[in-house]
Structure 1
Amino acid sequence: MSTFSEIVNKELPVLVDFSAAWCGPCQTLAPILKQVKDELGATVSIIKIDIDKNQALAAQFHVRSVPTMLLFKNGQQVWRQSGLLSKNDLVSVIKKHS
């Protein structure tokens, strides 16, 4: 199993979705992220992190609310947003950092 740093330390953008099973907006975001992946395909990785199962990682990135999305490129955080975004907004953010 890969470590978090191995996953985000790639040339391709990696969108990390910090979420929780009990979070309504997180459930709303899930199909939006699938649409983003369907549109962008292999040009982006999208991973979901459950904050209840990964509390140390959530604390490391100061995640105070869910959903919180972070975009990494080459191991560096290049963007951060809490709350919902539309598919088009997410696609444009990822393309901007590709």
Structure 2
Amino acid sequence: METTVFRPLIVPAKTAVLLVFVPPSLTQLLAVNQVLDRVRTELGAFIRITRVDQAVHPEVVRSFEVQQLPSFVLLKQGAEIWRHPGLLDAQELTRLLTERLQEDD
């Protein structure tokens, strides 16, 4: 019998977490992934990006009351500090996240 080992996500307290609620459509998912790759290049030291797939984790999507996919939720020390429904281009998402993180410091 194969055993799955649970490894908790350990994030330093100062690091923000961007939850990205991804759509089931492959075309949309590819677009989201392209945006996130560029954002990770710019903000990788300041933010941890975690994708939440609606099909795999519907309870998490419900708990955050996400109404539109994709949606972005920025958390810092477990508290929501920013949210945006819908896809943004990488430059705009980076700008908005940077502004919000600077406001929160």
Using structure 1 for the length normalisation, give the TM-score: 0.83
Q: Secondary structure at the match of 2:44?
A: helix
Query: How many Å separate the matches in 1 of 2:26 and 2:66?
Result: 14
> What is the distance in 1 between the residues matched to 2:66 and 2:29?
14
- State whether residues 74 and 80 of structure 2, in contact with CA within 8 Å, keep that contact through their aligned partners in structure 1: yes
Distance 2:81 2:43 in 1: 18
- Greater C-alpha Rg: 2
Following superposition, the deviation at residue 23 of structure 1 comes to 5.3
Q: 2:32 aligns with which of 12, 16, 29?
A: 29
Gapped runs of 5+ residues in structure 1?
none
Q: How does 1:64-83 map to 2 (within 5 A)?
A: 64-83=67-86
> 2:54 aligned with 1:51, yes or no?
yes
Deviations 1:52-86 (A, max 9, x none): 11011110001122101101111111111111111
Q: Tell me how far 1:88 sits from its aligned partner.
A: 1.4
The letter of the residue matching 2:8 is S
**TM-score, L = length of structure 2:** 0.78
Q: 2:8 aligns with which of 2, 5, 10?
A: 2
Please, which runs of 5 or more residues in structure 2 have no aligned partner?
1-6
Q: Which residue of 2 aligns with 1:92?
A: 95
Q: 8 Å contact 1:25–1:83 — kept in the other structure?
A: no
Aligned counterpart, 1:18: 21
CA distance in 1, matches of 2:8, 2:93: 25
% of aligned pairs identical?
24
